[in-house]
């Protein structure tokens, strides 16, 4: 569950594209790197869209889709851990360890290491609930917390293996047959830096996404975006872009 091929107009090429050919990354945004500063905290919310429609199982395994925001020290270096609480959905939820029905999402705190994903158990997201995310970077640990209706449902603390300078998102489909993913919005995003970077907001990249952008009220130490909207996305192995019929 990681980064990127050259999706953005930057040199963010995924080094190991061949190795990760089953993973397909879709619409996304990215902010960073912070200049002479690091991310100390990020908070944001999401009300999940409907689950994808039109997924096709073409192999023995079912596809799965994740949507996430994470922090890391790089967008291309696979050895830089990515702290990425994520929503996951699959037509075969059970195979993913997700207790939800196929009409619902699961959510969990989760960290990508080159050696493998380390995460907490998946929790079913009640339909239409707002999910609140907090990622806190202190001197020794990076902690992810996920809450629904004011109640913490998932938490994971990892060693602070990197000093995060990027915050970025993606839609990610394993096997590229997850179908059509409705648009949705990352809301009320606030990023705290340990030192001011007056240009941090200008690093925002939107790939099939829209936002009125990031603003700061303290000369660049704290940055806020009301929302970043991710457009409808399509994962079909033949490249088609179909609407959900219902």
Ligand X SMILES: *[C@@H]1O[C@H](CO)[C@@H](O)[C@H](O)[C@H]1NC(C)=O
Residue closest to 57 by CA, chosen among 191, 177, 164, 147? 177
Which among 148-156, 159-167, 197-205, 231-239 is the span making contact with ligand X, rule CB under 6 A?
A: 231-239
The reply on whether position 231 binds ligand X by CB under 6 A is yes
Chain residues 196-215 in contact with ligand X, contact rule CB under 6 A: 208
In angstroms, how far is the first alpha carbon of the chain from the final one? Answer: 30
172 binds ligand X (CB under 6 A): no
Neighbours of 154 (CB within 10 A): 22
Return the residue of 190, 210, 211, 216 that touches ligand X, per CB under 6 A: 190
CA distance 192 to 136: 9
- Find, among 33, 28, 31, 32, the residue nearest to 6 by Cα: 28
* Of 22, 58, 94, 103, the one binding ligand X by CB under 6 A: 103
Q: Label residue 149 exposed, middle or buried (CB < 10 Å: 0-12, 13-18, 19+).
A: exposed
Nearer to ligand X, 86 or 189 (CB): 189
Binding footprint of ligand X, residue count (CB under 6 A): 11
Choosing from 36, 127, 195, 215, the residue that interacts with ligand X (CB under 6 A) is 127
Binding site for ligand X (CB under 6 A): 27, 43, 103-104, 127, 188, 190, 208, 231, 233-234
């Amino acid at each position: 569950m990681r980064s990127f091929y050259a999706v953005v107009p930057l040199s963010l090429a995924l080094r190991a594209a061949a190795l990760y050919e089953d993973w397909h990354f879709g619409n996304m945004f990215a902010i960073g790197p912070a200049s002479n500063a690091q991310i100390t905290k990020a908070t944001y919310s999401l009300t999940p869209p409907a689950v994808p429609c039109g997924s096709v199982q073409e192999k023995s395994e079912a596809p799965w889709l994740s949507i996430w925001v994470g922090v890391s020290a790089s967008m291309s270096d696979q050895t830089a851990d990515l702290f990425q609480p994520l929503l996951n959905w699959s037509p075969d939820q059970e195979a993913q360890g997700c207790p939800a029905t196929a009409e619902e999402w699961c959510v969990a705190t989760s960290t990508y290491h080159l050696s493998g994903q380390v995460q907490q158990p998946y929790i079913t997201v009640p339909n239409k609930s707002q999910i609140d995310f907090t990622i806190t970077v202190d001197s020794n640990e990076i902690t992810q917390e996920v809450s629904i209706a004011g109640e913490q449902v998932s938490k994971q603390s990892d060693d602070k293996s990197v000093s995060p300078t990027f915050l970025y998102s993606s839609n990610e489909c394993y096997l590229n047959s997850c179908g059509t993913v409705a648009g949705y919005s990352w809301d009320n995003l606030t990023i705290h830096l340990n030192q001011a970077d007056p240009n941090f907001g200008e690093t925002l990249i939107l790939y099939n996404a829209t936002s009125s952008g990031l603003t700061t009220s303290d000369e660049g130490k704290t940055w806020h975006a009301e929302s970043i909207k991710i457009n409808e996305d399509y994962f079909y192995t033949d490249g088609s872009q179909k609407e959900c019929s219902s």
